[in-house]
């Protein structure tokens, strides 16, 4: 019987719990107003922010699996449309561009203007550096830091600005940009979503739209890089071949004009050699020009097309912080915390 008594679970009498809470209800009258006041002061001090979203669908280049093989596979119920593209950087890696200092540095040159035009035509870098609203408690913290200055880490290189060798202050600004800009991609549809956050509605929209343009340029440059390199190579060869052909043509013309009345066999053979050389160089020029046109067409073929599914718009309402939800959550947390404190003996808790 003693073993059954020991193993028997203890039962919590809810009537006693509610009774203890009711008898100490005055404690709630003290705690809840204080929590309401403190949480309200805190959340009202946090600057509001806006968000704007762009949805972009780039043209996807297949690795050749969607041709005859794709048709054959579809007849057996297989889908080859999701196979990896021939690009080294797949669309799934585009969100990782925000981790690259070079890409983020390119975004810092975006020109922004606030909706009330108090901030006008400045770079996004200067906006993050000098025009960010702060909570009131950050000002005394910054003042204290100024009393104990540290040795400034300038970073950078002697040869000029290097986004991969920056100071701590610059790195902090880059960090703010990464927090404010999110690039996502839907693995199924391939739609790229760009979400931009800023403390001003118009700047938010400008930022999202500009990032879309920057991303399009990056994707286009990457996709056409090999084709453009080939085009430049054939362009150079074509120019050289044309120069050689024009040079041979001038030599042939000068030789023919100077010996138009000469009947010597040696002169005729010389003219014939020059004509053959001119023809060979003309053929080489024609071949190079054909290759050049093919390379030019390849650049156009590799240039992706973009479809904007959802354009950036100026948000009407701020996206956060959710002040009422925050205060209500703090009040609920304070209520349950106080209640738990009051019934700690009944629940056999110790503090």
1 within a domain of the structure (yes/no): no
Do 28 and 132 reside in the same domain of the chain? no
Give CA–CA dist 85/351, Å, rounded: 60
Beta bridge partners of 193: 55, 184
Q: Is the peptide bond before 99 cis (omega within 30 degrees of 0)?
A: no
CA 335 centroid distance within chain: 43
The pLDDT value recorded for residue 243 is 94
- Is 144 part of any domain? yes
Q: Does a structural domain hold residue 281?
A: no
- Residue 292 in domain: no
Q: Please report whether residue 313 resides in a domain.
A: yes
Burial of 289 (0-12, 13-18, 19+ CB in 10 A): middle
Distance separating alpha carbons of residues 178 and 99, to the nearest angstrom: 8
d(CA 242, CA 289): 9
Q: Are residues 190 and 313 in the same domain?
A: yes
Q: What is the pLDDT of residue 76?
A: 42
Instruction: Examine residue 93 and state whether it is found in any structural domain, yes or no.
Output: yes
User: Do 97 and 27 share a structural domain?
Assistant: no
Q: Looking at the structure, tell me whether residues 75 and 224 fall in a common domain.
A: yes
187 belongs to a structural domain:
yes
Query: Which of helix, strand or coil describes residue 191?
Result: coil
Neighbouring C-alpha atoms within 13 Å toward the C-beta of 7: 4
By residue range, what is the domain housing residue 107? 49-233+308-320
Q: What is the dihedral of CA 284, 287, 293, 297, to 10 degrees?
A: -140
Domains: count for the chain: 2
Cα–Cα distance, 229 to 138 (Å, whole number): 51
Residue 54 lies in a domain: yes
pLDDT tens-digit series, residues 284-310: 999 999 999 999 999 998 888 888 999
Do 42 and 110 fall within a single domain?
A: no
| pLDDT value at residue 43 | 94
Residue with tokens 């005859």: 68
pLDDT at 151: 66
**Closest among 52, 47, 95, 43 to 197, alpha carbons compared:** 52
* Low-confidence residues in the chain, pLDDT < 50: 1-2, 5, 8, 63-69, 72-84, 350-351
Specify whether the CB–CB gap between 183 and 55 falls below 8 A. Answer: no
118 & 208 share domain: yes
Q: Against a cut of 0.95, is the pTM above it?
A: no
> Rg (Cα) of the chain, in Å, rounded?
36
Identify whether residues 18 and 124 lie together within a single domain. no
Contact (Cβ atoms closer than 8 angstroms) between residue 100 and residue 111: no
């Amino acid at each position: 019987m003693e073993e059954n008594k020991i193993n028997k679970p203890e039962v919590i009498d809810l009537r006693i719990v509610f009774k203890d809470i009711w008898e100490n209800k005055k404690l709630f009258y003290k705690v809840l107003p204080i929590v309401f006041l403190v949480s309200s002061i805190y959340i009202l001090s946090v600057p509001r922010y806006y968000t704007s979203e762009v949805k972009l669908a780039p043209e996807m280049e297949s690795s050749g699996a969607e041709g005859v093989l794709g048709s054959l596979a579809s007849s057996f119920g297989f889908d080859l449309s999701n196979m990896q593209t021939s690009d080294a950087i797949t669309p799934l890696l585009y969100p990782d561009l925000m981790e690259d200092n070079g890409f983020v540095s390119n975004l810092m040159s975006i020109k922004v203007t606030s909706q009330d035009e108090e901030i006008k035509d400045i770079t996004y870098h200067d906006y993050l550096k000098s025009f960010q609203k702060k909570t009131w408690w950050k000002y005394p913290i910054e003042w204290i830091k100024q009393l104990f200055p540290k040795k400034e880490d300038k970073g950078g290189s002697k040869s000029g600005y290097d986004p991969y060798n920056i100071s701590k202050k610059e790195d902090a600004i880059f960090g703010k940009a990464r927090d404010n800009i999110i690039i996502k991609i839907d693995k199924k549809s391939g739609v790229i979503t760009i979400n931009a956050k800023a403390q001003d509605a118009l700047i938010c929209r400008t930022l999202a739209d500009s990032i879309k343009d920057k991303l399009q340029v990056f994707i286009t440059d990457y996709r056409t890089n090999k084709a453009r390199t080939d085009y430049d190579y054939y362009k150079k060869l074509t120019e050289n071949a044309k120069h050689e052909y024009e040079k041979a043509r001038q030599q042939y013309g000068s030789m023919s004009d100077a010996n138009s009345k000469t009947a010597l066999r040696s002169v005729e053979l010389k003219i014939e050699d020059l004509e053959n050389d001119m023809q060979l160089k003309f053929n080489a020029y024609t071949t190079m020009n054909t290759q050049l046109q093919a390379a030019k067409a390849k650049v156009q073929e590799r240039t992706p097309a973009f479809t904007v599914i959802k354009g950036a718009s100026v948000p009407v309402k701020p996206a956060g912080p959710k002040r009422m939800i925050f205060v209500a959550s703090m009040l609920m947390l304070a209520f349950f915390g106080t209640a738990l404190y009051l019934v700690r003996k009944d629940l056999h808790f110790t503090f």
